[in-house]
Amino acid sequence: MARWRTKRGTRHLLWPSLVVAVLLIVGFRFVERVGHDQHPDDRFSVARVLDGDTAELTGGDRLRLLGIDTPEQGEPLHDEAKALLARLALQKSCRISYGDARRDKYGRILGYLYVDTTFVNRAIIAAGYAYVYLFADNDLKRPEIKELLDAQRSAMADHRGLWGIPRESENYYVNPVGSFRLHRPNCPGLRSLKEGRYHKYFSREEGLSAGLSPCRTCKP
């Protein structure tokens, strides 16, 4: 009898342990499923600035600023855009708000960057050091994108930064249906474009103020 009671007592002791283990596993799986992406107010620190729209965060992750595109290395105002991002964010604690996707195909974090009350993406656009850069139609409905477009229109009106650089004009510009890129009519990227599958804009400014960004090949 004593041996039977010992086994029974052991069984009673095991049940609480099993229950705790199951709860821990379920809890872990729940947190794993919710994921880090569900918290838009994540805070980071900018450790290094790589160019005008890309930074490295403490811990090694790279951040690509959403909704903007700054000049590449060797292009006009590249250095100024990079310097402005550094002045606004380098070695500072920041908050990142995410769009529909947290990372791009290169593994970079995609987000709107805030340092204290400064919306950094907007500040770079407002200085004339970047174009608004969009991918999906629903981007236009986001309040952040509306802010960026307002800042771009202001920079355009005042000829700040990129908007003060003289460019060879065309009789019209082309925007393929479903795209946010503005092209010169002879752009190589338009060779297979069918009639009726594009919009025409009769000035560069008209297209870009609507939320389009310049094609990186023909550079309108």
Question: What pLDDT digit, counting tens, does each position of 157-207 carry?
Answer: 999 999 999 999 999 999 999 999 999 999 998 988 888 889 999 999 999
87 burial via Cβ count (<10 Å: 0-12, 13-18, 19+): exposed
Do 120 and 53 meet the contact criterion of CB atoms below 8 Å apart? no
pLDDT at 128 over 70: yes
pLDDT at 33 over 60: no
Look-up: residue for tokens 């990227």?
189
pLDDT at 28 over 70: no
pLDDT band at 4 (very low <50, low <70, confident <90, very high): very low
- Highest mean pLDDT among 28-32, 38-42, 94-98 belongs to 94-98
**What is the DSSP-derived secondary structure letter of residue 109?**
E
Q: Which two tokens stand for residue 82?
A: 């990079």
